[in-house]
Amino acid sequence: MNLFETHAHLTDAQFDLDREAVLNRACDAGVETLVEIAESPESWEKAQALAEKTASPRMFWACGFHPHYAERQKDFNFDDMMRRTKSSSCVAVGEIGLDYAKSESSKENQEALFRKTLEIAGELNKPVIIHCRDAQADTLRILRSFYSGLSRRELCMGVIHCFSGDSNFAEGCMDLGFYLGVDGPLTYPSAKGLRDVISKVPLEKIVLETDCPYLPPQPFRGKRNEPAYLTHVAQKLSEIFARSEDEISLVTAANARRLFRV
């Protein structure tokens, strides 16, 4: 298979003892391209270094601020973010967005940080990787206000990471030119509602991700997730769309290349 892993956190400490082996297993599983996500200033340098030194799988990275860090934004060096995001190895701004489920940051500060990082992405003509938890209405409101002009929409696409919304949210995001990222939860027995929503989405609007080390697919529940397990997400999509796993991998990889322009 020709798999494109669009969302991994391989600089996480959980991979410190076997990161190289994890990358080797990813290659063996058919992962050809991977985007490493840096969600805080503390992870930017590590993510960039890992992406630029890794030959296989082909690796890029994304530079962002997770909404959990919104209360610290007065201390953030946005100039450093701009500088790093301009690097050729950085293919997106993210993850960024809103989290009303677990974050201790206020909604006001989250929205301010979200808008600031969207502006940076627009200025640098980079796609965005959106984090949205229990915040569908506000996420769509902000994205619509920012991507209201067709020219900007054409320049900056993005992806809704770990999509878990309803059909209305899916349609609203796709209308703005966004892809939907699907991962381990799609394989959970309890996720029939999510599978029903995804079944109505064109395959040409879907990209694959693991969000490792989090959200492992059903066979590995309770264990550390890793890019090699992306095959299980592809398998579930194959069942949903009644298309071969090879076709799933080819179409979603093409979608990801279009999204990240690589």
- Containing structural domain, residue 42: 3-260
pLDDT tens digits along 90-113: 999 999 999 999 888 999 999 999
Span 231-239, average pLDDT = 99
Q: What is the band of 162 on the pLDDT scale with cuts at 50, 70, 90?
A: very high
With a cut of 80, say whether residue 127 has pLDDT above it.
Answer: yes
Q: What is the band of 157 on the pLDDT scale with cuts at 50, 70, 90?
A: confident
CATH number at residue 41: 3.20.20.140
Span 12-29, average pLDDT = 98
pLDDT tens digits along 182-210: 999 999 999 999 999 999 999 999 999 99
Q: Output the pLDDT for position 72.
A: 87
Q: Output the pLDDT for position 151.
A: 54
With a cut of 60, say whether residue 152 has pLDDT above it.
Answer: no
With a cut of 90, say whether residue 76 has pLDDT above it.
Answer: no
Contact 123, 156 (CB under 8 A): no
In angstroms, the CA 224 to CA 192 distance is 23
Q: Output the pLDDT for position 154.
A: 52
Q: Which of 38, 33, 31 has the alpha carbon at shortest distance from 12?
A: 38
* Alpha helices per DSSP H over the chain: 19-28, 41-53, 78-85, 107-124, 136-146, 150-155, 167-175, 192-199, 230-241, 245-260
What are 168's two structure tokens?
């209305």
Domain count, the chain: 1
Q: Output the pLDDT for position 93.
A: 98
Span 219-240, average pLDDT = 98
Q: Output the pLDDT for position 73.
A: 86
- Average model confidence (pLDDT) across the chain: 95
Q: Output the pLDDT for position 156.
A: 58
Span 175-186, average pLDDT = 96
3-state secondary structure at position 96: strand
